Every structure is written in structure tokens, then in C-alpha cells.
Chain A
């Protein structure tokens, strides 16, 4: 079956703009995770959803970052007033449930100029 998909694959924006990144998890997976990976670093946890609710958003760096999963499937990560330091690969992963194997999507490469 289809894996985790993310759109867009690449996004270039200007400092101060708003961006939305989309994640479509594997069908039936209830848990969904967002990570951010900078060059030469491991993925850094941002937020995780169990169903529609954000079960843990302790990794969001500040209030410019927000994520939703209104119907318990597709999720959108929203970044307001982007800064150059937001440039990274944003990874989404899903799992059948908490503690189950996570399957990663291909990521969205965000570049803030």
C-alpha cells in the first residue's frame, strides 16, 4: 500500500511569509509525528498526534509553529512569520499506534530566504 506522503517536496519562501506543509499518513495509522531535521543532525521532535488531538507538542520551538489534524488523518504543519533559521527538512511519520514502528515520509525541504 501507499506510504506516508508529504507535500510539497520543496518549498522556497521569503522571510516573514506563512507556509503550510502537508502530511498524508499511512491509511489506518492513528499516530502521526512531525520532526525537523537540519543538516548534519538527527530528526528533532516537534509534535505528535493520537487521532485528532495533539498528544505532545513539547517540541514546537515557539508559537509561530502550529499543527492540526482535524479528521485524524491528514495533518498540516503551519509556520507563521518564517525565519531563516526555520530552513530544514520537515519530516512526518506515522504509526499504527503509540509505540509502534514509525514510518517516515520523504520530507519537505523548506528554504527561507
Chain B
């Protein structure tokens, strides 16, 4: 089993809908979780991080963490075409070095 797993997609949603991106991880000791956005041909940028079970909201983005089930999700409300990108889940191991999933491609169509 890979350390961080994501469905590669693509996930296609209409503009204005909620996009739900999921990630599972294997290390039960993981304490922090990150979501990066990567536009095609560009480098990753951090958009959310979460440490505690439950939800964390930042604007249109909500990160949800369930440590018992070992999954973390990212919800994007009121999706816009500009949200179309690959979303990478990252779980640091040991010395804060993130292990990345392969990413989920999101397409928001008008």
C-alpha cells in the first residue's frame, strides 16, 4: 500500500458545485496534513493544512480530517473554472518531509 493515496481522476464538476477531493494515508502516527494545488506546467502551492480531527475552513476551501479512518479530504465550494488544477495531498513523515500523493485532477466546466 502506498503511503498516500489519491484517485487520479479527473474529477469533473460544473461551475458553482462543490468539489470533493479525497486522500487516504497509511501511517497512523501522522500528525499534519497538507493540500497543494498545482496548475498544469506550474509548481505546487500550499492552499490548506490541518492538524486536528474535524473541519478547517478557509474561504471556499474546507479541509476535513478523520484520523481514525486515516483520510483527509478537501472540499471546494462554489467551484470556479480557475480552480481547475491538480490537487496534491501531502503527509509529512518524520522530519517534516512531505510524502505526496499522485494528485487528483479537477476540471470545473462552465
Contacts and interface: CB of A to CB of B under 8 A. Distances in A.
Contact of B102 (A42, A45, A105, A106): A42
A106 B96 contact: no
Contacts of B8: 40
Given A40-B8, A106-B43, A99 B96 contact: yes
Contacts, number: 41
B98 A56 contact: no
B99 to A, nearest CB: 7
Contacts of A106: 42-43
A98 B42 CA distance: 24
A12 interface: no
Contact of B98 (A40, A102, A107): A102
A91 interface: yes
B16 interface: no
- Top 8 A-B pairs, shortest CB-CB distance: A42-B100, A104-B43, A99-B96, A43-B100, A42-B102, A42-B88, A41-B102, A98-B96
